[in-house]
Structure 1
Amino acid sequence: MAGIMRERFVEVTTELLATHDRLALLTADLSAKLFAGARQEYPDRVLNLGIREQLLIGVAGGMALAGMRPIAHSFAPFLIERPFEQIKLDLNHQDVGAILVSAGASYDIAGGGRSHQSPGDVALLSTLPGWTVHVPGHADEAEAQLREAAAGDGLVYIRLSNQANERAHGLAGGGGHGFRVLRRGSAGTVVAVGPLADTVLAATGGLDVTVLYAGTVRPFDAATLRAVLADQDEARVVLVEPYLAGTSVPQVAAALSDRPHRVLGLGVGHEEVRHYGTPRQHAIAHGLGSAGLRLSIIEFLGTA
């Protein structure tokens, strides 16, 4: 599945440029060659700014102020972490919309070292208001999210990954941003985010737990979470996120503030793994393999 989400992004964006006159695409060298045909067709709306990520966001803000709908694309650490001040000032503070589409996820480019890893991107962006944050688990979901974002006006972040589920869980039940019930149980609820859904389903096989799928984490679907926990005296929730562990714990706490609850946030650990390795080795090191997840979930819920 490696690279399929990014390939779909290139394909769909190129198509959307032909049908949305105010849509523009901005790159900072990464993936620029993949858009060579689109740049030749739409030279005023497909721009490669070179390795200047702060400028990438600044130009996106300027285009948005001029009435354009910009899509800015790079690897996650270069799209969110490096130009964060420009996101805060040139997009949020100016009260304009834009679409940020990243690749690389937390450690898809593990061989690139720490500079190419970004487990903190969603947590960082969550400090700003008004963002819709999509974490697609399948290329079909990424396409639907991109098409919706292109037709809108708001602030949208789409976090692409090389890891993917076998099917698009997020498109079941008519689309939308809400959580999806993948399995029902009574001992607790596990919220599986994006490309970790299949791993969570494998990890919880035979356990009496509800599994919810989240392809969109901001806004956080508090209503569905509350609904599946309605008949439980004490809500027990496990979050499994493919980025910094605990990123969405405050959203769970806010959703359940009026009732007793416990929450465990699983994800990429706060301690840096100082080895290159493969993405799978990084996932296992952070306890995000199916065996590691199962142990953590059983220990927290006290069930087997």
Structure 2
Amino acid sequence: MDTMRDRFIATTSQLLDEDPRLALVLAEISRAGFDRAERAHPDRVVNVGIREQLLVGAGAGMALTGLRPIVHTFASFLVERPFEQVKLDFGHQGVGGVLVSAGASYDWPAGGFTHMSPGDVALLDTLDGWTVHVPGHPDEAEALLREAAAGDGRVYVRLSVQTNDRARPVGSGTGFSVVREGTGGVVIAVGPMLDNVLAATDGLDVTVLYATTVRPFDGAGLRRAAGGHGVADVVVVEPYLAGTSTAAANDALAELPHRVLGLGVGRAELRKYGEMDEHLAAHGLDARGLRERIGAFLRR
């Protein structure tokens, strides 16, 4: 199976051929994959070099001319390093574009902490008007990218090498989908967390919701799943900073007695490279760690 990043390159190259409104801005990362697209569309495929503030500013400038920019690099260099440009050049100027990241929270541990971005979604959450997609499979990444490219708003698509075994129907109008139904609580699995959540909750009487679009947050879908069970016990499992969506879940359940547990990447920096699976286990996001923490929360 190809990776989400492979699918992004193939899909974006095709979209550039089909839609003259689209432009692509790169900062060296993934440039080799776009060689053909750069030759075919030299006026709409721009590599600015290792200049991430310019990367975002150039994309927003293209948007001001009427183009639909797709802006791409690692998450830490796309959201964290040029955050002021994301806030001002896109948000303050009121223009749209598609930010597509790679690297996620710790896809490439050997790259060190500079290439890890567990706080990207939480940081974007401080800004108004961003749609955030977190696909869990290359097919989902393609569908969400196509939707984002065809629109006009500000969209962040967060890609990862971690994937679920199979794709599920996605789209900003889909909301949270019900994967498993139960009466003892609700577990929201975001993007590539779904397979581990399903393994962790096997045999537990819980509803499992699957989320690939996390902003806007599907509060109505959560209320439907949680309503009618007395006190609503909700666990949100996200592949980025733990607690990023707990406020949104609390707001959605304001009219119901409820408890919310946010599971995700911890704030403590892990200073050993290791492999991605070791980072998942260290943050308690493997099936075993999730089983222990979800079970303990629901038993209280």
What residue identity is the alignment partner of 2:114? S
Are 1:191 and 2:198 counterparts? no
Task: Tell me the secondary structure at the aligned position of residue 200 of structure 1.
Answer: helix
Query: Partner of 1:200 in structure 2?
Result: 197
Q: Distance in 2 between matches of 1:291 and 1:146?
A: 32
Query: Partner of 1:88 in structure 2?
Result: 87
Matched ranges for 1:120-269 at <5 A:
120-171=119-170, 176-269=173-266
| Change beyond 3 A, Cα 1:131–1:175 | closer
1:175 to partner: Cα distance: 7.6
Q: Distance in 2 between matches of 1:286 and 1:176?
A: 31
Task: Tell me the secondary structure at the aligned position of residue 76 of structure 2.
Answer: helix
1:237-260 CA-to-partner distances (Å, cap 9, x unmatched) read 000000000000010011011221
Matched ranges for 1:281-300 at <5 A:
281-300=278-297
1:169 to partner: Cα distance: 2.4
Q: Distance in 1 between matches of 2:168 and 2:185?
A: 20
Number of aligned pairs? 300
What residue identity is the alignment partner of 1:27? L
Query: Partner of 2:5 in structure 1?
Result: 6
Q: Distance in 2 between matches of 1:225 and 1:169?
A: 18
The answer on whether the counterparts of 2:235 and 2:261 sit within 8 Å (CA) in structure 1 is: yes
Query: Partner of 1:27 in structure 2?
Result: 26
The answer on whether the counterparts of 2:172 and 2:213 sit within 8 Å (CA) in structure 1 is: no
1:189 to partner: Cα distance: 0.4
The answer on whether the counterparts of 1:188 and 1:301 sit within 8 Å (CA) in structure 2 is: yes
C-alpha RMSD of the superposition = 1.1
Identity %: 62
What residue identity is the alignment partner of 2:116? Q
1:203-244 CA-to-partner distances (Å, cap 9, x unmatched) read 000000000000110000011110011111111000000000
What residue identity is the alignment partner of 2:143? A
- What TM-score comes out, normalization by structure 2 length? 0.98
The answer on whether the counterparts of 2:239 and 2:265 sit within 8 Å (CA) in structure 1 is: yes
Query: Partner of 1:69 in structure 2?
Result: 68
The answer on whether the counterparts of 1:80 and 1:125 sit within 8 Å (CA) in structure 2 is: yes
Q: Which moved more, 1:61-70 or 1:176-185?
A: 176-185
The answer on whether the counterparts of 1:138 and 1:166 sit within 8 Å (CA) in structure 2 is: yes
Task: Tell me the secondary structure at the aligned position of residue 206 of structure 1.
Answer: coil
